[in-house]
Amino acid sequence: MSCGEPHETDCSEVLDHLYEFLDREMPAGDCVKFEVHFDECSPCLEKYGLEQAVKKLVKRCCGHDDVPTDLRSKVMGRIDLIRAGEAVPEQTVLEQAVADQQAAQADSGPAEGQAGSGKAASGKAASGKSQPGQPGARQVPGVDASTASARAADSA
């Protein structure tokens, strides 16, 4: 979107970084440039106002839910991996949480070996890949070996 008027800071740049501005995640100098732009450009100011209103509405309606501790730690772990430039598991944190929940339900379900237990066999992860060095162990994608070992020790 562009209002067609020349500005020191282009409308597309402002809109591309609007959420950084809203979340106060940009340098002070950039914030000043954006505020000047909003003073000059009513279409961008309108978009800013709309996004600000949506953000307030979401906070009011959804801001009271507590995040489960294990989910928070998994998300923070993924962020740390990304910041460190390490390989990130293909499975999303949400998919991993669902897999963990299904595994927990399977563990508390029928005895191992019965139909419908939902457990992966032969040391294969949910992705179907064998985990070297751990024959017969059930692995959850995105969970490192130390976490899997700790879980196994806790359940023993």
pLDDT in tens, 33-47: 999 999 999 999 999
**CB pairs under 8 A, 24+ apart, for 44-49?**
44/1, 44/3, 44/11, 44/14, 44/15, 47/1, 47/15, 47/18, 48/18, 48/21, 48/22
- Roughly what angle, to the nearest 10 degrees, separates helices 93-107 and 69-84? 140
Q: Is the pLDDT of residue 131 over 50?
A: no
pLDDT of 133? 44
pLDDT of 112? 47
pLDDT of 60? 83
Q: What is the pLDDT of residues 74-126, one digit of tens each?
A: 888 888 888 888 877 777 777 877 888 888 888 876 554 444 444 344 343 44
Please indicate whether residue 83 or residue 136 has the higher confidence score (pLDDT). Answer: 83
Whole-model pTM: value is: 0.40
